[in-house]
């Protein structure tokens, strides 16, 4: 039996196993799910074992465990290190889901559940591709798996794990499916990811909530002040006003920008999908550029004062916001965090106090297109999808990619199979059965090609 036949023959079980994994609410950000996170790790361990791994360990960390597995068939062959994550984002707001987030359903050939695409569905394709190759005596490369449970909260403990286990993690390339393709008609390979700097700010006015009639007009309202401060972080052209923010931003040549914009993109479809009348962003850049090669600043949440039912007349003591900045090569997360902090403190009027606290961050990454591994991935898409994949820059972040390069000296191939419309991090997240099955097939072809091209 060929590997492809094996994959086709076992489609139903491959789907059922993913559904079992999706039933485990492994939300890394919320302590009340920590048992479920552990359960998901154990499930991955079991599945790696039954797929044929020789060694599988659940490695404890200061946080959630990392599942490590391997099957080394011949030290002379190249080694592929697969990275993925089994943790998921919180499913809130639950009421916006058409079916419960941890009770997966298949509708219109798509699996609906939190983590269906990001990243359980995409990660699990690698375990099934491994099973299929192993079962058909077709494993062409040595395989290592490193599946973590803290990607959605910044991968702090994975960083420690990687630094402490360089020997164990020796490989020729890292392979990750945790990104998107342009569409099922236009496959693509991600060659750039943005970095991240995530801040929380607190603005304090008076030491207690005040009557907004008795004091209003005479005492600074921290919510009003916070809004003004945030508004001033961008100018009319959509440029971020933090001094030094753009100093290290890599400017692409006009040829590079031209190539980037040749990727198919339908502005009308984009607008209607999001139900917006117009896009918005930095002047002088296209939508592809705004998400791919330009940094951003966004408020992710803002709160303070009275938000209960009815109206309470109050001049609040405090206002808060969570603000993220997406970074591009060669910005450095810690430097941007510093620049933001200094600037935010400097623009605060004397009538308030501000406190700026950094959350997690991560570096941007660019992966090579002239490598053996890229060629192997490209040829795998060509065979399975009938089209040469287009290299693209994604707007999201996988901070560990730059760390792999720094600590292990390894390049990554970002062979994702999701779609931007899969609603990752949103209600009704889903993943197409087509993408799941095609992904498994493409991954198996990658291994075959990588071994062949490495000779
Ligand atoms: N898989 C995503 C990143 C992603 C999504 C890359 C789509 C490219 C296309 C990942 O799980 C994620 O959500 N990362 C976080 C960063 C992390 C530090 C919390 C992100 O991008 O917000
Ligand atoms: Mn992910
Ligand atoms: Mn995610």
Atom 1 of ligand 1 has which residue's CA nearest to it? 178
Question: What residue's CA is closest to ligand 1, atom 14?
Answer: 397
pLDDT exceeds 90 at position 174: yes
* E strand or H helix that includes residue 213: none
The helix (run of H) or strand (run of E) holding residue 336 is helix 333-346
Ligand with minimal distance to 85 CA: 2
Q: Kindly give the number of the ligand 1 atom that is closest to the alpha carbon of 420.
A: 7
Strand pairing report for 173-176 and 412-414: parallel
User: What average pLDDT score do residues 216-241 get?
Assistant: 98
Tens-digit pLDDT profile for residues 28-57: 999 999 999 999 999 999 999 999 999 999
Model confidence, pTM: 0.95
Share of the chain above pLDDT 70, in %: 100
Predicted confidence at residue 184, as pLDDT, reads 98
Ligand 3 centroid to 386 CA: how many Å?
A: 29
Task: Please state the rounded mean pLDDT for residues 426-441.
Answer: 98
Rounded Cα–Cα distance for residues 143 and 234 (Å): 47
The stretch 62-74 carries a mean pLDDT of 98
pLDDT, tens digit, for every residue of 118-169? 999 999 999 999 999 999 999 999 999 999 999 999 898 999 999 999 999 9
Q: Which of 151, 158, 360, 417 to mutate to test the pocket of ligand 1 (most atoms within 8 A of CB)?
A: 151
Task: Please check the confidence at residue 86 and state whether its pLDDT lies above 90.
Answer: yes
Delimit the domains of the chain by residue range. Answer: 3-193+364-453, 195-249+295-362
| 173 Cα: distance to centroid of ligand 3 (angstroms) | 22
DSSP E strand boundaries for 1-62: 55-59
299 CA distance to ligand 1 centroid (A)?
Answer: 17
**214 Cα distance to chain centroid:** 48
Which of 178, 288, 391, 425 has most ligand 1 atoms within 8 Å of CB, for mutation?
178
Tokens 């990454």 -> residue: 365
What are the DSSP E strand ranges found in 25-109?
A: 55-59, 66-71, 79-85, 105-107
Residue whose CA is at the smallest distance from ligand 1 atom 5: 396
Residue nearest to atom 19 of ligand 1 (CA): 152
Q: Closest ligand 1 atom to the C-alpha of 154?
A: 18
Q: What is the rounded distance in angstroms from the CA atom of residue 444 to the CA atom of residue 133?
A: 7
Mutate to test the pocket of ligand 1, among 396, 412, 418, 423 (most ligand atoms within 8 A of CB): 396
What is the pLDDT at residue 197? 97
CA distance 334 to 248: 13
Report the nearest-CA residue for atom 15 of ligand 1: 397
- Local structure of 211: helix, strand or coil: strand
Residue 119, preceding bond cis, omega within 30 degrees?
yes
- Whole-number mean pLDDT of the chain? 97
Q: What pLDDT does 366 receive?
A: 96
The residue-averaged pLDDT of 263-290 equals 96
Atom 18 in ligand 1: residue holding the nearest Cα: 154
- Which residue, among 76, 149, 154, 65, has the nearest Cα to 363 in the 3D structure? 154
153 CA: nearest ligand 1 atom: 19
Q: What is the CATH number of domain 195-249+295-362?
A: 3.30.70.360
Q: How many residues does the chain have?
A: 455
Instruction: Evaluate whether the domain defined by 3-193+364-453 bears CATH number 3.40.50.720.
Output: no
Mean pLDDT of 86-95: 97
How far apart (Å, rounded) are the C-alpha atoms in residues 141 and 24?
A: 31
Ligand 1 lining (C-beta closer than 6 Å): 118-119, 151-152, 154, 178-180, 193, 196, 360, 362, 394, 396-399
- CA-nearest residue, atom 20 of ligand 1: 397
Which band of pLDDT confidence, cut at 50, 70 and 90, is reported for residue 360? Answer: confident
Report the distance separating Cα 359 and Cα 372, nearest Å: 37
pLDDT band for position 84 (50/70/90)? very high
């Amino acid at each position: 039996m060929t590997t492809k036949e094996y994959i086709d023959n076992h489609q139903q079980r491959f789907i059922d196993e993913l559904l079992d994994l999706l039933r485990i609410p492994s939300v890394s950000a919320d302590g009340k799910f920590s048992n479920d996170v552990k359960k998901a790790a154990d499930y991955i361990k079991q599945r790696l074992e039954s797929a044929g791994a020789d060694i599988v360990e659940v490695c404890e960390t200061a946080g959630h465990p990392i599942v490590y597995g391997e099957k080394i068939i011949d030290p002379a062959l190249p080694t592929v290190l697969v990275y993925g994550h089994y943790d998921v984002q919180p499913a809130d707001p639950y009421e916006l889901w058409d079916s419960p987030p941890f009770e997966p359903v298949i509708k219109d050939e798509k699996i609906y559940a939190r983590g269906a695409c990001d990243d359980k569905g995409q990660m699990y394709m690698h375990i099934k591709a491994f099973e299929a190759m192993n079962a058909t005596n077709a494993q062409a490369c040595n395989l290592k798996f490193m599946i973590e449970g803290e990607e959605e909260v910044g991968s702090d403990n994975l960083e420690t794990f990687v630094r402490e286990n360089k020997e164990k993690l020796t490989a020729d390339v890292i392979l990750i499916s945790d990104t998107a393709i342009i569409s099922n008609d236009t496959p693509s390979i991600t060659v750039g990811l943005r970095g991240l700097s995530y801040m929380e700010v607190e603005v304090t006015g008076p030491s207690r909530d005040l009557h907004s009639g008795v004091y209003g007009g005479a005492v600074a309202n921290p919510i009003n002040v916070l809004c003004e401060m945030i508004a001033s972080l961008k100018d009319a052209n959509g440029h971020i006003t933090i001094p030094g923010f753009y100093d290290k931003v890599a400017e692409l040549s006009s040829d590079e920008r031209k190539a980037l914009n040749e990727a198919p993109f339908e502005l009308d479809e984009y607008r209607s999908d999001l139900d917006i009348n117009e896009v918005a962003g930095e002047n002088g850049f296209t939508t592809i550029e705004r998400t791919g090669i330009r940094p951003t600043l966004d408020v992710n949440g803002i709160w303070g004062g009275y938000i209960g039912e009815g109206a309470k007349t109050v001049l609040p003591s405090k206002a808060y916001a969570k603000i993220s900045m997406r970074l591009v090569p060669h910005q450095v997360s810690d430097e941007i965090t510093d620049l933001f902090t200094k600037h935010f403190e400097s623009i605060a009027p004397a009538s308030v106090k501000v406190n700026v606290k950094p959350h997690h961050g991560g570096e941007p990454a660019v992966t090579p297109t002239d490598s053996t591994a890229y060629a192997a991935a490209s040829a795998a898409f060509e065979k399975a999808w009938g089209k040469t994949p287009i290299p693209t820059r994604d707007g999201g972040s996988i901070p560990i990619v730059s760390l792999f390069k720094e600590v292990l000296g390894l390049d990554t191939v970002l062979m994702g199979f999701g779609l931007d419309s899969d609603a990752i991090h949103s209600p009704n997240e889903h993943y197409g059965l087509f993408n799941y099955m095609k992904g498994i097939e493409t991954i198996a072809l990658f291994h075959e090609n990588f071994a062949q091209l490495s000779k």
